[in-house]
Amino acid sequence: EIVLTQSPGTLSLSPGEGATLSCRASQSVSGSYLAWHQQKPGQAPRLLIYGATSRATGIPDRFSGSGSGTDFTLTISRLEPEDFAVYYCQQYGSLPYTFGQGTKLEIK
């Protein structure tokens, strides 16, 4: 099983600032099959990034993903108020599919 470790656990920033979220895998993620999901309180997760770098339909270009192998990053430039949420990375290249524990992005 691939264990995904996200850091930091909580990130406190102000609107307009940039955010960098990290996801490290215990072993190489096959095919860069790494996704990022955003979850707001009381809502289902929403897919942001797939294939480590591709934005899902309708996702603003201030969201970008990078990385390969075992180290992946989600970058949000110019934070908007609606971006404050919990972010999960997920690998879907190997069974069982696994998620990171999440990074909470909160308003400073």
Partner 1 sequence: LQLQESGPGLVKPSETLSLTCTVSGGSISSTTHYWGWIRQPPGKGLEWIGTIYYSGTTYYNPSLESRVTISVDTSTSQFSLKLSSVTAADTAVYYCARRTSGWPFDCWGQGALVTVSS
| Binding pattern for the stretch 7-46 against partner 1, x by CB under 8 A and - elsewhere | --------------------------x-x-x-----xxxx
Q: How far is the CB of 64 from partner 1 (least distance, A)?
A: 17
Q: Which residues pair with 21 in a beta bridge?
A: 74
Cα 64 to chain centroid, rounded = 9
The residue among 84 and 103 lying less far from partner 1, judged by its C-beta, is 103
Where are any strands of DSSP class E within 1-108? 4-7, 10-13, 19-25, 34-39, 46-50, 54-55, 63-68, 71-76, 86-91, 98-99, 103-107
Taking alpha carbons only, the member of 83, 40, 42, 33 closest to residue 60 is 83
Q: Which stretch binds partner 1 (CB under 8 A): 9-17, 61-69, 71-79, 94-102?
A: 94-102
Residues of this chain, 50-69, that bind partner 1 according to CB under 8 A: 50, 56
Residues engaged in binding partner 1 (CB under 8 A):
1, 33, 35, 37, 43-47, 50, 56, 88, 90, 92, 95-102
